[in-house]
Structures are given as structure tokens and as C-alpha cells.
Amino acid sequence: RLGPNVVCRCTGDMVRAISRKHHIADILRTTLANDGFDTHYQPIWSIPKRRFVSAEALCRLDGTEFGSISPAEFIPIAEETGLIVDMTYLTLGKVCSFVKNVRDEHPDAPLECVSVNFSTILFMQNDLAERTLGIIEDSGIDPASIKIEITESTLVSNLDTARSFILTMHEAGVQFCLDDFGTGFSNISTILELPLDIIKLDKSIVWHASERERDGDDFLKHLISAFKAMGSEVLAEGVETESQRAFVERSGCSLIQGFLFAKPLPAKKALEVIGETGRR
Ligand code: C2E
Ligand code: CA
Ligand code: CA
Ligand code: CA
């Protein structure tokens, strides 16, 4: 590809990296065929309600020949190979069963909804809305128990498809969350016109802004007020310290997701944590 008379040398490290990637793609294929992905749930805390109210479903790949593989490594491979499409439907189905189980077996649990991540690649599928709604409806749960997370970069690169998907699903009762806000350069007016129930501030923004607040940087506070005025709740991701917590509380965020409150946990453990009250 570089033209005639060009010789490329592959170092051992490059060969190992490429081979690991192919290997992980194989592991993903096998795991998918065996329904073998684990789904963890990270509890989400409501500041005004002073309790956990929801959770984010996060995919896990443990016990492979490489040990635990981080989503930061396997999700991009799943996206490149297209495997993310079926992985997402599988995860959505598991999340629906989890919610169904909570509704049937623990009707008093304060879990209002669970969110699922939808990658950009899904927006290339013509039957996205149909399949997504099919899975939710087949499970028999209230669609309002499901929240779909779309990243800011998906919105920027697929605005029309994403908008029509959001509008169709929202009509059926499904909620939406804009993930990784602050990393994708979206047009604020675009965000404001979509029915987004939650705007998630990316952890990089939370960490940066909480350090800079002393210098009088209250831009974020104004932005949060604007989102609230349009009817979206603002969630701060990546809250790890008490000072970050104090900052996001003062800034007007109403939801917190971070290691200070809870890590992603297996379903049963997450439900126990969500049920705990008055400890924080
Ligand atoms: P994300 O959607 O932004 O998910 C939040 C990530 O932040 C999770 O990483 C979570 O463990 C981490 N996190 C939460 N609180 C804290 C904190 O206080 N400090 C720090 N340092 N990190 C925190 P995780 O589980 O490793 O997932 C990474 C990314 O992989 C996710 O980022 C998401 O983009 C992707 N991902 C994970 N599961 C799925 C899935 O089922 N489908 C898709 N499409 N993507 C997924
Ligand atoms: Ca997310
Ligand atoms: Ca995020
Ligand atoms: Ca992220």
C-alpha cells in the first residue's frame, strides 16, 4: 500500500499485538456463541433521594487464557469485527431478565431502571429499533425500566439516525442517556432538542472541573443549569473522592456514578448494595 520499493518491517511487539487482537476476536466469538459474557452492574446514586436509584450494565470478559480482559481492550475489537451488535442484544436481553427478576422477586427494591451502552456501529443496522423494542417487549418489563446510553460521538457522527431512533424508542417509553458528555464536541443546541433523560458528564470533565473550581471556573455550573432547565438530569461519572463529590453536589448534578459510592458488581451483589440505605 505504501508503493513500490518500500519494505515494511514488523517488530516482534507488533506481531504480538496483532496476534493478541485476533485471538481476542476468537475469544469474543466463542463467548458470544456460548452466551458467556458476564454483565456487571454499577449502582447509581441520587443526591436528592439520598439512595441508589439505578445502575449501568457493563460487560465483563473474565477467565480467558489472557485472564480478565478489560472492556477498554475488547469493546473496540468487538466493534471492529461487528460482534458488538449481537453482544449488545445479548446484554440487553440479560438486563431485561435481571429487571424482570427484581420486579418479581424483590418488588420493594428501589431500582428504577438499568442502562445499556449502544455503540455507534449499531446505528448502521436497519432493524435496530425493531430488534431493541422486540427484546424489551418480549421480556414483559415496563420499557421505562430500560435506559439506552449513546455517546456524544455517536450523536455527532450519526445525528439523523440517532435522532429518529431516540424519538421512536422514547415514544415506547424507553429512556435515553447521553454518555461521555464533554468528549465529543457536539453542538449544544442539538443536545437540547433531543429527549435525553440524563446527560452524563465524562469523568475527565468531572476530574478537571473539580480541580479548577477554585480558580473560578464555573462554566460547568451554568451548563448544568441549562440542561436542567431543558428537563435533563445531570450525572457525574468517575467520582472517586469526597472533594469531587462535594464539587458535583455544589454544581447541581443530581446523580453520581463512581467508585466512591460503588464499583461495577455482579447482579446479586449490586442489588444488595442498591437496597442499602442511609449509609452514605
Ligand atoms: P462507559 O460507558 O463510560 O462506562 C463507565 C466506565 O467508567 C466503566 O468502565 C466503569 O467501571 C468506569 N468507572 C465508573 N466509576 C469510576 C470511577 O470512579 N473511577 C474510574 N476510574 N472509573 C470509573 P468499564 O466497565 O471498564 O468500561 C469501559 C467502557 O467500555 C465503557 O465506558 C463503555 O464505553 C465500554 N463498555 C463496557 N460494557 C459495554 C457494553 O456492554 N457495550 C458497549 N457498547 N460498551 C461497553
Ligand atoms: Ca456508559
Ligand atoms: Ca461514560
Ligand atoms: Ca467512557
Task: Give 35 Cα–ligand 3 centroid separation in angstroms.
Answer: 25
At residue 217 the predicted structure's pLDDT band, cuts being 50, 70 and 90, is: low
Task: Give 242 Cα–ligand 2 centroid separation in angstroms.
Answer: 22
The answer to whether 60 and 27 are in contact (CB under 8 A) is: no
At residue 263 the predicted structure's pLDDT band, cuts being 50, 70 and 90, is: very high
Q: Which ligand is nearest to the CA of 87?
A: 1
Q: Is 83 in the pocket of ligand 1 (CB under 6 A)?
A: no
- Joined grid coordinates for residue 124: 448502521
Q: Is 143 in the pocket of ligand 1 (CB under 6 A)?
A: no
Query: Which atom of ligand 1 is closest in space to residue 237's alpha carbon?
Result: 15
**Length of the chain as a residue count:** 280
Q: Is 141 in the pocket of ligand 1 (CB under 6 A)?
A: no
Q: Is 28 in the pocket of ligand 1 (CB under 6 A)?
A: no
The backbone torsions φ and ψ at residue 217, rounded to the nearest 5 degrees and listed phi first, read -85, 90
Task: Please classify residue 147 by burial: count the beta carbons closer than 10 Å to its beta carbon, then call 0-12 exposed, 13-18 middle and 19+ buried.
Answer: buried
Task: Give 207 Cα–ligand 3 centroid separation in angstroms.
Answer: 13
Percent of the chain with pLDDT over 90: 72
The answer to whether 193 and 221 are in contact (CB under 8 A) is: no
User: What residues pack around ion ligand 2 (CB closer than 5 A)?
Assistant: 117, 149, 179
Compute the distance between CA of residue 10 and CA of residue 16 in angstroms, rounded to an integer. Answer: 10
Q: Is 43 in the pocket of ligand 1 (CB under 6 A)?
A: no
What does the DSSP 8-state code read for residue 197? Answer: S
The answer to whether ipTM exceeds 0.90 is yes
The DSSP secondary structure of 146-165, one letter per residue, reads EEEEEEHHHHHHTHHHHHHH
pLDDT by residue (tens digit) across 39-84?
Answer: 999 999 999 999 999 999 999 999 889 999 999 999 999 999 999 9
At residue 280 the predicted structure's pLDDT band, cuts being 50, 70 and 90, is: low
At residue 248 the predicted structure's pLDDT band, cuts being 50, 70 and 90, is: very high
The model's pTM is: 0.93
Task: Give 202 Cα–ligand 2 centroid separation in angstroms.
Answer: 9
pLDDT by residue (tens digit) across 129-174?
Answer: 999 999 999 999 999 999 999 998 888 888 899 999 999 999 999 9
At residue 90 the predicted structure's pLDDT band, cuts being 50, 70 and 90, is: very high
What pLDDT score does 192 carry? 80
Name residue 56's beta-bridge partners. 42, 115
CA distances from 104 to 137, 140, 171, 266 (A): 16, 11, 25, 19
The backbone torsions φ and ψ at residue 38, rounded to the nearest 5 degrees and listed phi first, read -90, 145
Q: Which ligand is nearest to the CA of 72?
A: 1
Q: Which ligand is nearest to the CA of 258?
A: 1
- Joined grid coordinates for residue 82: 461487528
